[in-house]
Structure 1
Amino acid sequence: MGLRLGGKGQQSHRMVIFAAILILMTLFILYSSNNNSSIDAVYASFHVATNHATKTTDLRKWTGKDGYVPVYGNKSMTMHCHECALVTSSSHVLGSRAGDEIDRTECVIRMNDAPTTGYESDVGNRTTLRVVAHSSVFRVVRRPNEFLRHTDSHPVIIFWGPPNKIGKDAKGTLYRLIQRVSMTYRDFSCFTVTPSKMRRFDSLFQRETGRDRQKSHSWLSTGWFTMVIAIEICDNIKVYGMVPPNHCGRKSGSKKMPYHYYKPRGGDECVTYIQHESSRRGNHHRFITEKQVFARWGKQYNISFTHPKW
């Protein structure tokens, strides 16, 4: 026989449910408020491991220049610069008017398909070294006048990516395309990163962050490769456009900035950073964690950051 609640019992039952809902809503509002005031809470669970004991790595002696294989010919990676300008792809370079300063620097380093045409006043026009991910090869090759002619007299391109895509033994479409570029533009010195050095990039990430790259589903960014390569070849580095690691944890009213300076309608930089940093499924860049490491390297390797300055 079922038990039926009386009028007062039903009313009391409803009051209990209402009170529970009210408490849950209050907690949700407080939680949301905390998230808005400090976005750091969203991605704090990744970041450099809190119990990670940092071990000093001398990157200038890390592997030397033997981790680069020429795509065509028998050239060797011998580049060395006293002063380098590392120009990021961030929209923070827009309005900097740093172009002349960048072009006066001994060596200018750029990434992927970041253009100079139309942005000379802010990013300069010279390119000494360009670091290109396998995913950007087609975009670079599609615009040879931009990426393969507006360069210094003996420019270098370093291609990085999975060995099965850009390795010399791969013989796939991507490698053949890189090889064709290298044969066509003889003034260029084109190199790919060896499989053993790719593994060392992974182990360096774990050493510096306490996180296993593969187990944590992390993809190293072109920024990570470029920064390490710059430290290998440059005595002093000035980085243009890179934000500090805590930039996206500031007040939510911060001005929204496109992720790339040459894609004004692209996604917002901080939204992209936080989505990648906090994601657990699939493979993602850990931009903020990488910048934590860069901040530490800045003190070790004569690296300064400008636009913004930090």
Structure 2
Amino acid sequence: MSLKTAKTWCFRLIAVVLFFVSYYCSHVFLQSYGGISKSPPTPSKSLCGGWLKQKKWESLNFNLDCRTCAVIGNGFSIKNSSLGGIINEYDVVIRLNDAPVRGYEDDVGNKTTMRLFYPESASYNPSMHNDPATLMVLVPFKQQDLSWLKEILYDEKRVRKGFWKPPPQIWLGSTSRIRVLDPHFLHGTASSLLQIPLHPKRKQKPVHPTTGVLAVFVALNYCDVVHIAGFGYPASKNQKHPIHYYGYDTMKSMKDSYHDLTHEAEALKKLEDSGAIMYLHPHS
């Protein structure tokens, strides 16, 4: 074989090898990120084995090899579930608004890593149903929410206008445990997860994400495994059916809310079907 012929075949073989290498790499990359995955991964600790492990919680010392998170909703569906012990085993437990823990430990556990709330849903004494180290994360739905926090922190004159329900005028929580949720997460929940307009038209009724679905979106951004419980509303058309595992609020109280509950249920179903989240209990 002449030197010229050998060089020609060498270049051809290199091209073929490069083609197969690039095909293999792209195939592995797409599988890793779900592009051509045949089935969604099972939500468990084994899920973390092949995923990128970023230090997303570095300032909070949450750098675990596999960060498991439980988002606990306030729905009636968690009542009599006896999930308390299981919930306490998660690395991060996220709770919502002023949902109580004391007296309901058997069903909802008593561990609280962080609690998302807004002024109207705040408790004047967070220590009643939270741990000393619980992060109290304010969700600023409107400008008045930040003003309320400023007035509380600096003991300024309280302004009560602009709230659909009077928020606490006294707050006994530790100011060092307060955080403010980046508006990016609220916008992302609305635009990406729920696909609802951020700026509705003049005659269009404004719709806001619930704190629950917002918490799920936050967890998906920071956790390797996301399990949820206490989500969903009763399928019954009985307007007197309770909606929470505590208190006396009924379906009637949700009639004029600014939430699209049906749309949120569909969004959670898609997340469940894709393997992004998993319910801890049977649900409708």
Give the TM bin, normalised by the shorter chain: 0.5 to 0.7
Mapping of 1:1-310 within 5 angstroms?
A: 82-137=67-122, 140-141=123-124, 143-147=125-129, 150-151=130-131, 154-167=133-146, 172-177=147-152, 185=174, 189-195=177-183, 197=184, 201-202=186-187, 204-215=189-200, 216=204, 217-243=206-232, 248=235, 252=237, 257-263=241-247, 265-268=248-251, 271=252, 275-276=255-256, 284-300=258-274, 302-309=276-283
Instruction: Give the partner amino acid of 2:134.
Output: P
- Contact kept? 1:111, 1:132, Cα under 8 Å: yes
C-alpha deviation, 1:123, in angstroms: 0.8
2: CA distance, partners of 1:121 / 1:224: 24
2: CA distance, partners of 1:129 / 1:284: 25
Q: Percent identity?
A: 21
1: CA distance, partners of 2:258 / 2:63: 32
2: CA distance, partners of 1:243 / 1:220: 14
Helix, strand or coil for the counterpart of 2:101?
coil
Q: What is the root-mean-square deviation in Å for CA atoms of aligned residues?
A: 3.7
RCO higher in structure (CA 8 A, sep ≥6): 1
Alpha-carbon spacing, 1:164–1:76, altered in 2? closer, same or farther (3 Å): farther
C-alpha deviation, 1:226, in angstroms: 0.9
Instruction: Give the partner amino acid of 2:127.
Output: N
- Contact kept? 2:119, 2:145, Cα under 8 Å: yes
2: CA distance, partners of 1:120 / 1:182: 24
Helix, strand or coil for the counterpart of 1:219?
coil
Instruction: Give the partner amino acid of 1:235.
Output: D
Length-normalised TM-score, structure 2: 0.62
1: CA distance, partners of 2:71 / 2:116: 11
For structure 2, the 5+ residue unaligned runs are 1-34, 36-51, 156-169
2: CA distance, partners of 1:125 / 1:222: 20
C-alpha deviation, 1:193, in angstroms: 2.5
- Contact kept? 2:78, 2:229, Cα under 8 Å: yes
More strand by share: 1
Instruction: Give the partner amino acid of 1:243.
Output: G
Instruction: Name the residue aligned to 2:26.
Output: none
Instruction: Give the partner amino acid of 1:222.
Output: T
- Contact kept? 1:80, 1:233, Cα under 8 Å: no
Write the deviation string for residues 207-261 of structure 1: whole angstroms up to 9, x where unpaired. Answer: 44443144141122111221111112211122112138xx63xx75x89641221
For structure 1, the 5+ residue unaligned runs are 1-55, 67-74, 277-282
2: CA distance, partners of 1:79 / 1:209: 29
2: CA distance, partners of 1:161 / 1:65: 22
Alpha-carbon spacing, 1:194–1:165, altered in 2? closer, same or farther (3 Å): farther
- Contact kept? 2:56, 2:63, Cα under 8 Å: no
- Contact kept? 2:190, 2:208, Cα under 8 Å: no
Instruction: Give the partner amino acid of 2:246.
Output: Y
